[in-house]
Chains A and B, each alone.
Chain A
Amino acid sequence: MLFGKRNQKDAFERQAEKVFPSVFGTALRLTRSREEAEDLAQEAIVRAYEAWDRFDGSNFKAWILRIVTNLYINRYRQKQRTPQLGSLEDENVLEPTAVDSDEPDRLLFDELVGAEVEEALGKVPEDFRLAVILSDIEGLSYQEIADITGVPIGTVRSRLARGRAILRKQLTEYALKEGYIRTGDQ
């Protein structure tokens, strides 16, 4: 019995250690505060460990990211009590990610550094940001994102498209301001 429990703990730690960078990265990109991200990630790991015997064994990363997301929604979002820009009403207001069909290939963001991209990502409204993080950084499928966020796949698609469009706009404005690209390039 004791060895069984020890094996369970070891098995959990092995799995959790592999996905922990994703857990902490998602927590950090949601809270945008290292201190709060540490609390959120630790709490998520503890919750996951306590619920480990109820995990169905299919997709550990998606399962634990769902715990992170739910914890964030239940705790941090309520605590912040700040109005969420880009609410659900805006989800159906779709616009293209590209602003001009003649846009050349050389409008690239190669000059940007990670911190600048993270800064721009942080300005994307929360629901859209979460979809972008889970898809483009964590590489989850639409179905996994839908399971994690508890919304239909159609909503995931529109949130992703909207989130990417907002992020591109943010990055373009920043790149123009910093002189990484010229107005004429657009």
Chain B
Amino acid sequence: MNDWLEVHALLDDELSSEERTRIQEKVKTCKTTQAEWRAVRQIKTVLSEKCVHPDCDDVWEACTKRIDQIERTKRAEAFVGKYAWGLCGSFCVLILIAAGYTRMNGGNLRPGDLADVGASMVSISAPTSQTPSVQRQWLQNNLSQTMHPTEQRLNVVRGAIGHLDDGRRVTEAILQDDAGQLTLFVVERANKVDDVEHVDSRYSGGMIGSKNCITWTDGGNAYLLAGERSLTDLCQRADSLLAR
């Protein structure tokens, strides 16, 4: 080994006992080796005394926060990994329950949905007579028990039954009065009608195609009365149908 390197190794306590004895002897007897020994010792002393560890409490705190963050992420990943099937199953069950609930309790209805039903409607027999009691009986049997028409000149022209895409039954009745024809739809299991605005506390108004319509809900069913007349007039006709 180079003598200088041995002097460094001596001061670094990296020599065997024999080597240490030999180099120590050389340091005592050789001026050059002695100078090298002093110089290396000086540098080691300067570095150990002057180069202190910098203040780093804030950096350590940041490190512990990152470790905590890693732990939280690991815990979350472990939980998801362990219970993934359970979570997926729970979500599926939740979706099925929600779907079942919607089907049982009815969903929303848009007037536009009825336009798609028209072609698939099947006619049902019209009232056999135009007497008020027969007319009322027909309406109550085919549409709703809430029907109590008070308008003597309101007649049922014909009726039809169809179904929405989601299976809910739609009953249609074409009514005739002095001002023309009206169409009354009853949709089962519909709690709310979308795309309409409040006309008053009882009815909401909107459009089906080019015709005005008013809607209301009762007993879990939705009612739509449409005709080529004003919303106010439609409301009056609905009042007369319901004996309000």
Q: Which residues in A have some Cβ–Cβ distance to B below 8 Å?
A: 5, 9, 12-13, 16-17, 20-22, 24-25, 28-29, 38, 41-42, 45-46, 49-50, 94, 96-98, 100-103, 105, 107-109, 112-114, 116-118, 121, 132, 135-137, 141-142, 157-158, 160-161, 164, 167-168, 171
| A50-B51 in contact given A101-B31, A160-B8, A164-B40 (Cβ < 8 Å) | no
- CB pair A96 B56 closer than 8 Å: no
Q: In the assembled complex, how far is the CB of residue B218 from the closest CB belonging to chain A, in whole angstroms? A: 57
- Looking at the complex, which of B42-50, B105-113, B145-153, B222-230 is the stretch in contact with chain A? B42-50
* B46-82 Cβ-contact flags toward A at 8 Å (1 or 0): 1110111110100110111011001100000000000
- CB pair B51 A94 closer than 8 Å: no
Is there a chain A Cβ closer than 8 Å to B38's Cβ?
yes
- CB pair B42 A168 closer than 8 Å: yes
- CB pair A38 B43 closer than 8 Å: no
**Bound Cα distance A118, B52 (Å):** 10
- CB pair A158 B35 closer than 8 Å: no
- CB pair A98 B36 closer than 8 Å: yes
Partner pick for A171 among B46, B56, B66, CB 8 A cutoff: B46
| CB nearest neighbor in A for B48 | A136
Q: In the assembled complex, how far is the CB of residue A169 from the closest CB belonging to chain B, in whole angstroms? A: 10
13 A-B pairs with CB atoms under 8 Å apart are A9-B67, A9-B71, A12-B67, A24-B59, A29-B51, A42-B59, A96-B36, A96-B39, A108-B42, A113-B50, A116-B50, A135-B12, A171-B46
Which A residues are in CB contact (< 8 Å) with B36? Answer: 96-98
| A132-B47 in contact given A21-B53, A103-B38 (Cβ < 8 Å) | yes
Known: A21-B54, A94-B4, A101-B35. 9 other contacts (CB 8 A): A20-B63, A24-B53, A45-B66, A98-B32, A109-B50, A114-B51, A118-B50, A141-B14, A142-B14
| B contact residues, total (Cβ < 8 Å) | 37
Q: In the assembled complex, how far is the CB of residue B122 from the closest CB belonging to chain A, in whole angstroms? A: 65
**Bound Cα distance A85, B34 (Å):** 30
Which B residues are in CB contact (< 8 Å) with A135? Answer: 12
- CB pair A94 B56 closer than 8 Å: no
- CB pair B59 A161 closer than 8 Å: no
| A100-B67 in contact given A109-B46, A167-B43 (Cβ < 8 Å) | no
- CB pair A102 B35 closer than 8 Å: yes
- CB pair A112 B50 closer than 8 Å: yes
* B107-143 Cβ-contact flags toward A at 8 Å (1 or 0): 0000000000000000000000000000000000000
Chain A interface helix/strand/loop/mixed = helix
Is there a chain A Cβ closer than 8 Å to B5's Cβ?
yes
| A118-B51 in contact given A46-B67, A46-B70, A161-B8 (Cβ < 8 Å) | yes
Q: In the assembled complex, how far is the CB of residue A6 from the closest CB belonging to chain B, in whole angstroms? A: 9
**Bound Cα distance A142, B48 (Å):** 17
- CB pair B42 A25 closer than 8 Å: no
Which B residues are in CB contact (< 8 Å) with A142? Answer: 9, 12, 14
Partner pick for A97 among B4, B60, B71, CB 8 A cutoff: B4
| A157-B9 in contact given A25-B53, A41-B56, A98-B38 (Cβ < 8 Å) | yes
Which A residues are in CB contact (< 8 Å) with B39? Answer: 96-98, 103, 168
**Bound Cα distance A16, B14 (Å):** 27
| A17-B60 in contact given A157-B8, A168-B42 (Cβ < 8 Å) | yes
* B1-22 Cβ-contact flags toward A at 8 Å (1 or 0): 1101100110010100000000
Q: In the assembled complex, how far is the CB of residue B3 from the closest CB belonging to chain A, in whole angstroms? A: 9
Which B residues are in CB contact (< 8 Å) with A117? Answer: 46-47, 50-51
**Bound Cα distance A44, B60 (Å):** 12
| A98-B35 in contact given A20-B56, A160-B8 (Cβ < 8 Å) | yes
